[in-house]
Structures are given as structure tokens and as C-alpha cells.
Structure 1
Amino acid sequence: MPFTGFPEAALDFYDDLELDNSKSYWDAHRDTYRTAVAEPMTALTAELADEFGAAKIFRPNRDVRFSKDKSPYKTHQGAFVPVAPTTGYYVQISAPGVRVGAGFYEASPTRLTAIRKAIDHDRHGPELERIVARLRKAGWEFAGDTLKTAPRGWDKDHPRIELLRHKTMSAMRDYGFADLIHTPALVDQVRDHWRETKPLLDWIVEHGDV
């Protein structure tokens, strides 16, 4: 099935789910989730798979076992294309619209140490700085979980201390409610933007593959 765009019903579905995150609401709108959210997301990622690989479409249910928030359903639908463990391309739809990104969302202590050593390196670290600067100039938000202080073993006055503080890294950008998200043209837009993030992923894979 070709991707034709996310219908308005997808945004309405998540607007209402944020107000009534209950099994009764979900059961009453299960078909809307399937036709307006799950099937279009599957179609979108399938059209991108030839270049980026197969996507994992995340389950809509939340894991509430260790959370104080017992809301049973996620208020967004995400899909992830891995290029390495916990590293890859991302797209999501929710009440505020569509957003895309790339990066790594988790790292073992060994992997994080390897990444930080690369950031500290006189050649590899400036290379990452240039990649991040290009992404920001192109309109990307560079984000991730960070430490409040310097990681153990590095000086707080290190010239790349902001990068060293990262425990995760991601480049994200929002399309919001742009008309684009309701059309087949979204495929090419996501494709172009994921291509812009490839240098970041290549750097993470090269230096964090331990």
C-alpha cells in the first residue's frame, strides 16, 4: 500500500487520547488508530526501507511496570530504523504533528566511554563539532540526555565539554501541522532529512562500535 499521507484523523486521535488515555477510549477508536496511524506509518517506513532499512514500528502500549504514570497508551506513534544498537533514524506522529530525527538513545558505559574518548580526540572531536554545527545551521535541534557537570575523567573546562556531557545524542526537527504531512510528499521530505543526519550516525557508529 503506497503512503498517501497521515489523515487529519491521526492528529485528532492523539488530541483525544491525551484527554482520555483509557482502555475504553482505545477500544472505541481502535479502527481509527489502525487506519489513520498504524497503516500510514507502516506505509511511510516501507517506502524508505530501500535506502535506510526496515523500521521497527513501536507498540502503542506503555510499559507501566516501573512508572508512576499508569496511563496505558503512548500519546505518539514512533518508528525506528536501526543502523547499530540503539542508534538509527526516527519518525513519529502525535497531537503536535510529525517529527523526525536520528541519533542514539541509550549507550552502555563501555560504549559511552568510547564515544567520549572520540570527542576528546584532536581530530575526531572537531569532526563531530562540525557535523553538529552543520545540522544546527540546517535547522536541526541537537539534543539528548546530558550530565549537569563534567563526566568523570574529563575537565569541566574541556573545549568540547558540552558534547562530553551527553549520555545520548539526537538531531530532531518538527514538521508540525504542515500540509506536507498529509501528502505523499512526506516520504521524500523524510528521506532528504534523514540523509542530512547520516554523517552524525556514521560518526557515532564508527566511534561507538565496541
Structure 2
Amino acid sequence: MNRKVVFDFLEDLSRNNSKEWMDKNRARYEESKSILIEVFDPILEELKLIDPRIVQPNARKSLSRINNNLMFHPDRPTYKDHMGLGFGYGKGLADFYIHLGVHEQLIAGGLWHPSSEKLKLLRQEIDYEGERLNSILNQPFFAKHFTLYEEDMLKGSPKGYASDHPHIHLLKMKSLAAFRPITREDFYSSSFDSMVIESYKAIVPLLDFANVAIQEH
């Protein structure tokens, strides 16, 4: 199995982003998907032994669509420049995600751009249990490898929270998500399976924190 095929396809797609090109290169797309399925099926089986709550039955069902949603974002290209897989506990919950793209590769997880109601519940949990969240973020492996997504934050305090709140930085976030940058070489490596599995173990407490917040009310 030549894993480099995946990135060769994505690079060519990003340079020739059209339905006409995709129709002519559909076999390459299917080959790339097959490689990802072959890589991630055994990883998913291992993850489900660790955490039986994961609902995806196989890697094929975990693959994200490569088509962009042009109905809501007509300015975007027809196709994404990346392929991704998500493993989680059900729609609308924080989950675990692997992103393999032309420009960036990530292992990530969390609650991404939740609804205003879910964000309100998440902030309540941070208000009450901020020290527990900090302890998760400060675990040695997590702190060494993961970075919180902080690009999309409120400039001021959320409504109902003082600017000097001890967890104001966390309260300002519109997502509770973290990512671990990886490289193409990581994906090609024989140790990639263990990298994904150890990353999952490290990020599960963050997923649990978010999911408890949005489910217990």
C-alpha cells in the first residue's frame, strides 16, 4: 500500500478543482479512499476496544464528504483539499477527527462551533468545573502535543460572566477543541497507528468534559 497516493491525488485535485476533472479521475479518488479505509479500519477496531462508545462501524462510514457545501458557501471550490475521518459518539457531540490535507495534517478532537444553546451549557460547565478542565489541558502528554483552538474567540466577556472570572480565557472560546499537528511522514510511518491511538486516549477527557456539559441538562 502506497500511502503517498492520497496526497498525490489531493494535490492534483486542488490544482484542478472541478467536476470535470473529478469525473475523469474518479478511480484515483476511490483508490485514495480505499487506502484510508485500509489504514484506519484496524485503528478504529483498536479504538473501539478502548472505548466501546464509538458509534462508527468502520472507517468507510467515518470518512467525510470531499464535496464542499456550495449551497451555504457558494464561493468555495467544488471539492475540499483534504480528506478527513471522524470517530465519535453520535451526531452533535464532541468527537475525534483526523485531517489529512494538502496544507495541513492534524489529529484533533472536541466540540466544534456548537449551537448557541450548547455553547451556553458548555460555558456553564466551564464556570463550575473550570479547574477540572484545566487539569485535563495540563496533563503532560496533552500539554506537550495538543494545542487549543483559539482563533475564534470573543473579544469581550460572554454575557453573564465577569471579565476577571478565573477561567475567562476558556469562557471566551466559541469551540472547545484541540489539535495535534502531524506530518505526511507521520502518516507514512509504521508508527502512525500508535500515534493515533495514544492521541485518542489523551483527548478523550476533553471530549467527555464537553459531552457531559451539553447532555446533562
Normalised to the residue count of structure 1, the TM-score between the two structures is 0.86
Of 91, 104, 113 in structure 1, the residue corresponding to residue 98 of structure 2 is 91
Q: 1:108, 1:98 → 2: CA distance?
A: 26
The runs of 5 or more residues in structure 1 that have no matched partner are none
Of 155, 173, 184 in structure 1, the residue corresponding to residue 162 of structure 2 is 155
TM-superposed deviation, 1:46: 1.9
Partner of 1:38: 33
Superposed CA deviations along residues 103-148 of structure 1, whole A, max 9, x for unmatched, are: 0113233322221111111xx1111012123365222111053222
Secondary structure class of the residue paired with 1:198: helix
Q: Aligned in 2, Cα 1:183/1:34: closer, same or farther, shift over 3 Å?
A: farther
Aligned length: 202
Q: 2:39, 2:89 → 1: CA distance?
A: 18
Q: 1:31, 1:98 → 2: CA distance?
A: 23
Question: What amino acid is the match of 1:44?
Answer: V
- Identical aligned residues as a percent: 24
Q: Aligned in 2, Cα 1:195/1:204: closer, same or farther, shift over 3 Å?
A: same
**Structure with greater proportional strand content:** 1
Q: 1:158, 1:93 → 2: CA distance?
A: 37
Q: 1:8, 1:49 → 2: CA distance?
A: 21
Q: 1:9, 1:44 → 2: CA distance?
A: 13
Of 116, 133, 141 in structure 2, the residue corresponding to residue 128 of structure 1 is 133
Q: Aligned in 2, Cα 1:57/1:7: closer, same or farther, shift over 3 Å?
A: same
TM-superposed deviation, 1:9: 2.1
Secondary structure class of the residue paired with 1:138: helix
Superposed CA deviations along residues 11-53 of structure 1, whole A, max 9, x for unmatched, are: 1222222222111221232222211x21122233322333243
Q: 2:175, 2:195 → 1: CA distance?
A: 25
Partner of 1:100: 107
Partner of 1:208: 214
Q: 1:42, 1:168 → 2: CA distance?
A: 29
Tell whether 2:83 aligns with 1:77.
yes
8 Å contact from structure 2 (residues 63, 86) kept in 1: yes
Q: 2:171, 2:104 → 1: CA distance?
A: 32
Secondary structure class of the residue paired with 2:96: strand
8 Å contact from structure 2 (residues 142, 202) kept in 1: no
8 Å contact from structure 2 (residues 70, 76) kept in 1: yes
| 1:167-182 alignment, distance < 5 Å | 167-178=174-185, 180-182=186-188
8 Å contact from structure 2 (residues 81, 101) kept in 1: yes
Q: 1:44, 1:207 → 2: CA distance?
A: 33
Q: 1:86, 1:100 → 2: CA distance?
A: 17
Partner of 2:3: 7
Normalised to the residue count of structure 2, the TM-score between the two structures is 0.84
Poorly superposed stretches of 4+, deviation over 4 Å:
none
Which has the bigger relative contact order, CA under 8 A and spacing at least 6? Answer: 1
